[in-house]
Amino acid sequence: TSSPPSLGLAVESLECGGRTGSVKQQLAKLFEGSLKVIFPEEPNMEPLIAVCTAKFGDYQCNNAMGIFSKIKGKSTAFKNPNSVGQAISRHLPPSNIIESTSVAGPGFVNIVLSSKWVAQNIQNMLLNGIDAWAPILSVERAVVDFSSPNIAKEMHVGHLRSTIIGDTLSRMLEFSNVKVFRRNHVGDWGTQFGMLIEHLFDNFPNWEDTGEQAIGDLQEFYKASKRRFDDDPSFMQRAQQAVVRLQGGEARYRNAWKKICEISRKEFDLVYQRLGVHLEEKGESFYNPYIPKVLEELSTKGLIEESDGARVIFIQGQPIPLIVVKRDGGYNYASTDLAALWYRLNVEKAEWIIYITDVGQSQHFDMVFSAARRAGWLPDAKSILYPKTNHVGFGLVLGSDGKRFRTRSSEVVRLVELLDEAKSRCKAELVKRLEDNGKLKDWTDEELENTAEAVGYGAIKYADLKNNRLTNYTFSFDQMLNDKGNTAVYLLYAHARICSIIRKSGKDIEEIKKSGKLVLGHADERVLGLHLIQFAEVVEEACTNLLPNVLCEYLYNLSEIFTRFYTSCQVVGSAEETSRLLLCEATAVVMRKCFHLLGITPVYKI
């Protein structure tokens, strides 16, 4: 059935701009076509397509029951859900995607995909690149606010989680052709700078030339100035005045502030470099000039009230109001976030704004979003309209004692040291492994370094991302660096093994991509093929629900399904060699894309 589809918009837009969307989206278009024919007076019926849970099909359409209960009594055209299902199935526009359909008792339409189409789809991806499998999302511009450590304070494991999760979500959105603003909302403004600056002036008179070396350890510097602030009332007073002079724009104070920010930034960058994470800083200070105007607007709209000398916004259902001007007249975290939200909506014109912090801040964001809704900046909470905002909360990182992850001396863990340890452990492990199998001589030192880095950092990221982000997880090098089980090490090695199968075949895979033909003959080949083509909808789901673990689960299952295929189907030297090499290559390509989206560097040999 290759005749052109005759049914309107839905099917035509299938091939819009060469992007077809996920299999689910493609099936949805077909079912939308059918629903439109059967129910022309109900134009916006949304097709409900899901992966089939029973073995009667690959996917299923779940609309019949809902439709029947809606039209029952109003129309006599259908006597039960099953007959609705039958009609849906009968009116499907012709397509080469679907091999056959069957209707189950209560009207579920089971869909068996054409194996030929699945194979062609995979070959098409191999020829045109995995971008052909990017999902189509309904947003074009998004802000992802992540990492966001505080100047002069330690960047802790919470910020590490935010960095890892935010980077992954940004990557997935970017892959889905969304323009992403990767925002580092660093805490670079606030009253703490008063004490930091005065402490700098007192103790480091040459700070302008030597600042960095002199200050050395910025966390120690912070603690020392905090001690003085707490213990010495006259210092406290000076610090408070310093805040006023800094905010008034006095040059010496501005410069000192800049210097402190610079030193912090360099330290943060060490972490970002190791993790390969790219961010664009717009810190709290950036939004400061916008605050008065924004608060004025909110005030005009009647949102701001006086309470206890502070100016606040009351939010329905919240026990405490959102303070937007403190009693001393100063602005705070909330006023900055309101201004930032205003800026993101009106200047950056973002349709989706995503904030990534620990769950502890969810009340803050709830209140900011509610205020924005009251101001009419955002549509109703239950609405599916844009712009929309989401707080992506995450749980704690725990130590082996089940408490918040700390070093032995109960200090916060230094991220750079953590990352370095992951790398050095991996290197030691790798060297031992290669010594054992006599392969160490085949490796240059650079290769060892790069592999250790990829595996070590990848392990930390994957251990974080594989859990539902809301759960706390225990940080354990032993667990995350295990080469068995659901770890990055296992997955990276699985990928390297597939690459070596292809290499050892001695065949030119680029050539085979063009001349060979992929056929899904064996049942395990078909299962693998089916899993491969679900890639786009998995990314789509991970984006829509802001859940990176969905992609991790897919990746882990992919490697398991590949193993099953490889166990039952001989590749090299078999009659199906060409086809099976293509399947190996497709698996490797999809695995690599998963790694890429998770911010993990793949390795090709082990």
Q: List residues binding ligand ARG (CB under 6 A).
A: 145, 148-150, 185, 187, 337, 340, 355, 357
Name which of 59 and 369 has its Cβ closer to ligand ARG: 369
Q: Could you tell me the CA-to-CA distances from 470 to 24, 357, 546 in Å, in that order?
A: 27, 11, 11
Please, what is the minimum distance in Å from the beta carbon of residue 341 to ligand ARG?
A: 8
Please, what is the minimum distance in Å from the beta carbon of residue 187 to ligand ARG?
A: 4
Name which of 375 and 594 has its Cβ closer to ligand ARG: 375
Least Cα distance to 177 among 461, 473, 539, 565 occurs for 539
Name which of 368 and 512 has its Cβ closer to ligand ARG: 368
Please, what is the minimum distance in Å from the beta carbon of residue 162 to ligand ARG?
A: 7
Please, what is the minimum distance in Å from the beta carbon of residue 320 to ligand ARG?
A: 18
Q: Are 491 and 591 in contact (CB under 8 A)?
A: yes
Q: Are 505 and 585 in contact (CB under 8 A)?
A: no
Question: What are the residues facing 355 on neighbouring strands?
Answer: 145, 391
Name which of 267 and 524 has its Cβ closer to ligand ARG: 267
Strands 473-474 and 397-398: parallel
Name which of 145 and 267 has its Cβ closer to ligand ARG: 145
Q: In 217-250, which residue ranges form alpha helices assigned H by DSSP? A: 218-231, 233-247
What count of residues does the chain have?
606
Name which of 151 and 195 has its Cβ closer to ligand ARG: 151
CA distance 13 to 33: 11
Sequence letter at residue 538 = V
Please, what is the minimum distance in Å from the beta carbon of residue 315 to ligand ARG?
A: 17
Across 90-222, the runs of DSSP E, i.e. the strands, are 98-103, 109-113, 141-145, 179-184
Name which of 32 and 284 has its Cβ closer to ligand ARG: 284
**Count of other CB atoms within 10 angstroms of residue 90:** 13
Please, what is the minimum distance in Å from the beta carbon of residue 146 to ligand ARG?
A: 8
Please, what is the minimum distance in Å from the beta carbon of residue 149 to ligand ARG?
A: 6
Please, what is the minimum distance in Å from the beta carbon of residue 284 to ligand ARG?
A: 8
Name which of 162 and 549 has its Cβ closer to ligand ARG: 162
Name which of 235 and 287 has its Cβ closer to ligand ARG: 287
The three-class DSSP label of residue 119 is helix
Question: What are the residues facing 392 on neighbouring strands?
Answer: 356
Residue nearest to ligand ARG (CB): 148
Least Cα distance to 584 among 557, 602, 558 occurs for 558
Q: Could you tell me the CA-to-CA distances from 567 to 83, 453, 524, 560 in Å, in that order?
A: 43, 31, 9, 11
The three-class DSSP label of residue 152 is coil
Please, what is the minimum distance in Å from the beta carbon of residue 148 to ligand ARG?
A: 4
- Contacts with 395 (C-beta within 8 Å, 6 or more apart), sequence order: 358, 359, 469, 470, 471, 472, 473
Dig out the tokens for 370 from the structure.
């509610």
- Contacts with 140 (C-beta within 8 Å, 6 or more apart), sequence order: 178, 179, 351
Name which of 108 and 365 has its Cβ closer to ligand ARG: 365
Please, what is the minimum distance in Å from the beta carbon of residue 150 to ligand ARG?
A: 5
